[in-house]
Amino acid sequence: MAFNDPIAELLTKIRNAKGAQHRYVDMSYSKMKVWILEVLKSHGFVENFLVNKENYKIRVFLRYTRGRESVIHGLTRVSKCGLRRYIGHDRIPNVFNGMGIAIMSTPKGVMDGETAKNLKVGGELLCTVW
């Protein structure tokens, strides 16, 4: 199935898999998805991910607590294909009082909002995760 927005595809597939309590989810490969997954992995929202460049697939292993409750409670796409959201470093949102993260695409790469604030760099606000 072809999607126009690969970031929305990533977020929707993770949201659906966590709702069904799947161990992992497979999706098509793109560099932007890998960069976003690296941020999610570094903050502990996903357990791991594997990239298979031969088949152009990514397998994302979701993270759960001992009671089989998902670590991710919500994923929201902020900047969409029809309406891009660009913000400066002083306007980066604080997601759930620091319990969540804002993922941004900046001139220095894809990073979380706190890192962008510390580096004083703005950019496109891709999504929020909590």
Question: Which CATH fold topology does 6-62 show?
Answer: Ribosomal Protein S8; Chain: A, domain 1 (3.30.1370)
pLDDT digits (tens, 9 = 90+) for 33-90: 999 999 999 999 999 999 999 999 999 999 999 999 999 999 999 999 999 999 999 9
pLDDT of 1 above 60:
no
Give CATH 3.30.1370.30 domain extents, the chain.
6-62
Sign for the pseudo-dihedral over CA of 114, 118, 119, 125: positive
The model's pTM: 0.94
**Two structure tokens written together for 24:** 């992992």
Give CATH 3.30.1490.10 domain extents, the chain.
75-129
Question: Which CATH fold topology does 75-129 show?
Answer: Dna Ligase; domain 1 (3.30.1490)
